[in-house]
Amino acid sequence: MLTSLVQTLLILALSPLFTGLIRRLKAYFQGRQGASVLQPYWDLAKLFRKDSVVSQDASWIMTATPYVCMTAVIAAALMVPLMTTSSLGFVGDLIVVVYLFGMMRFFMALAGLDAGSSFGGMGSSREMTVSAIVEPTILLSIFTMALISGTTDLSGISHNLASTGFDLVRPALFLALAAFFISTLAENARVPVDNPSTHLELTMIHEAMVLEHSGKHLALMEWSSMTKLLLYMVIMANIFLPWGIDTDLTALGLAAGAAAIILKLLVFSLAIALVESSMAKMRLFRLPNLLTVSFSLSLLAVISYYIL
């Protein structure tokens, strides 16, 4: 219980750092200096101090959404193992986590429609379209991991895989990981699905939905999106490749777990930055090509588990 709380607070505290790191890496690949890795922290602090402007056409949904989104990611973070496999697994499993993210997406999309501007509506409609194909991919990847490790409980999967060495590794695991990686890019508004640093209405999905928020509402929305990205990376690290995670709450184990997760997160940040820098954002109606590739990867993962 206590470990879950500590891990959650760590995730919340570190998420702006990893967003800043990805931005810095992208800048490096694009030949720029880039802002400091700590820049997102300064941004959030600045936003918290400002007034919030709320549209007079908006209803209570607009003001409630930032809090709901933050609540959803924190609740999800409670169930995700970071350095050690003990977490609040009895509250919910991986499917609950996916649906908590779904709750966050639902409220964000509603807030996009609430202000009555075309940008918000467009962002909402595109977000729901992308999620329609990404959700089955994620659920099938989870299914594959559940088949491989024998449980859908997050800490259970980490524990089973980490403590049995490489015995349970199948090709299905890597296919599922590839599918999940593409889904991470789609769900967290990364190139090639969406550009996280643009403010041109024709190219936004996520940015369009949060366009009307300001002040501490915007701070909460940004922070919850950063935390969502970090959670996806942690899930990739600790569910698909959990070796190194602590399983028995010893000091040495915790230290090893911390080192392992930091290393894996750095690798994933680098991978995301590489992919973002080397590809262009795809047209909206070309996205089904990419997303169906990830869906067939996850379907292949399940099939190959049974036939290979």
Residues 223-282 touching another protein, rule: CB under 8 A, are: none
Nearer to another protein, 64 or 258 (CB): 64
Q: Does 56 bind another protein (CB under 8 A)?
A: yes
Q: Does 37 bind another protein (CB under 8 A)?
A: no
Q: 3-class secondary structure for 239-255? A: HHCCCCCECCCCHHHHH
Q: Does 306 bind another protein (CB under 8 A)?
A: yes
Nearer to another protein, 34 or 52 (CB): 52
Q: 82: phi > 0 → left, psi -120 to 50 → alpha, else beta; which?
A: alpha
Provide the H-helix boundaries in 188-250: 206-209, 215-235
Nearer to another protein, 18 or 295 (CB): 295
Nearer to another protein, 110 or 272 (CB): 110
Q: What is the Cα–Cα distance from 308 to 301, expressed in whole angstroms?
A: 10
The candidate with the shortest Cα–Cα distance to 256, out of 267, 266, 242, is: 242
192-221 positions binding another protein, by CB under 8 A: 211-212, 215-216, 219-220
Distance in Å, CB of 122 to another protein, minimum: 7
Q: What is the Cα–Cα distance from 204 to 73, expressed in whole angstroms?
A: 22
114-133 positions binding another protein, by CB under 8 A: 114-118, 120-122, 124-126, 128-129, 131-133
Nearer to another protein, 87 or 269 (CB): 87
Distance in Å, CB of 42 to another protein, minimum: 14
Binding residues for another protein, rule CB under 8 A, total 98
Nearer to another protein, 92 or 265 (CB): 92
Q: Is 118 exposed, middle or buried (0-12, 13-18, 19+ CB in 10 A)?
A: exposed
Candidate segments 141-149, 182-190, 236-244, 249-257, binder of another protein by CB under 8 A: 141-149
Distance in Å, CB of 71 to another protein, minimum: 4
Q: Is the dihedral of CA 8, 151, 185, 254 positive or negative?
A: positive
Distance in Å, CB of 207 to another protein, minimum: 13
Q: What is the Cα–Cα distance from 117 to 112, expressed in whole angstroms?
A: 8
Which of 71, 163, 203, 277 is in the footprint of another protein by CB under 8 A?
A: 71
Write the interaction track for another protein spanning residues 75-114; mark x where CB under 8 A is met and - where it is not. Answer: x--x---------xxxxxx-xx--xx-xx-xx--xx--xx
- Spell 189-224 as b/e; 16+ CB within 10 A means b: bbbbbbbbebeeeeebbbbbbbbbbbbbbbbbbbbb
Q: What is the Cα–Cα distance from 67 to 123, expressed in whole angstroms?
A: 20
Nearer to another protein, 34 or 215 (CB): 215
Tokens of 84: 């050690």
Position of tokens 């924190």?
A: 74
> Over the Cα atoms of the chain, what is R_g?
19
Distance in Å, CB of 13 to another protein, minimum: 13
Candidate segments 34-42, 139-147, 239-247, 251-259, binder of another protein by CB under 8 A: 139-147
Distance in Å, CB of 197 to another protein, minimum: 19
159-188 positions binding another protein, by CB under 8 A: 170-172, 174-175
Q: What is the Cα–Cα distance from 28 to 25, expressed in whole angstroms?
A: 5
